[in-house]
Amino acid sequence: MTPDDLITRVKDLIPDAACLVDKGHAVAEIPLAKLADAFKILKADEQLDFDFFMDVTAVDWQARKPRFDVVYHLYSVKHNHRLRIKVKVDEGQPVPTATGLWHIADWMEREVWDLYGIKFAGHPNLKRILLYEEFKGHPLRKDYPYDKRQPLEPETWPVRESQVKMAEGEKIHRP
> Read out DSSP for 6-71?
HHHHHHHH-TT-EEEEETTEEEEE--GGGHHHHHHHHHH-TTT---EEEEEEEEE-TTSSS-EEEE
Determine if residue 122 is left, alpha or beta; phi over 0 gives left, psi from -120 to 50 gives alpha, anything else beta. left
Residue 174 lies in a domain: no
Residues of the chain with pLDDT under 70: 153-175
The pTM score is 0.84
pLDDT of amino acid 170: 60
Mean pLDDT score across all residues of the chain: 90
End-to-end distance of the chain based on CA atoms, in angstroms? 55
3-state secondary structure of 99: coil
* Residue 164: HSE in the Cβ half-sphere, 13 Å Cα cutoff: 3
- What pLDDT, in 10s, does the model give residues 86-97? 999 999 999 999
d(CA 7, CA 22): 11
Cβ–Cβ < 8 Å for 70, 93: no
| 74 domain residue, yes or no | yes
- Residue 172 falls inside a structural domain: no
| Cross-strand bridge partners of residue 23 | none
Tell me what pLDDT residue 40 has: 97
Domain of 163, in residue numbers: 3-167
Task: Residue 66: give its domain's CATH number.
Answer: 3.30.460.80
Is residue 131 assigned to a domain? Answer: yes
Q: What is the pLDDT of residue 67?
A: 96
Specify if 173 maps to a domain: no
Distance CA 72, CA 43 (A): 13
- 3-state class of 97 per DSSP? coil
pLDDT of residue 134: 85
Q: Within a domain: residue 97?
A: yes
Q: For 49-76, what is each residue's pLDDT tens digit?
A: 999 999 999 999 999 999 999 999 999 9
> 175 lies in a domain?
no
Residue 128 region by backbone torsions, left for phi larger than 0, else alpha for psi between -120 and 50, else beta: beta
User: Structural domain tally of the chain?
Assistant: 1
Q: Is residue 52 part of a domain?
A: yes
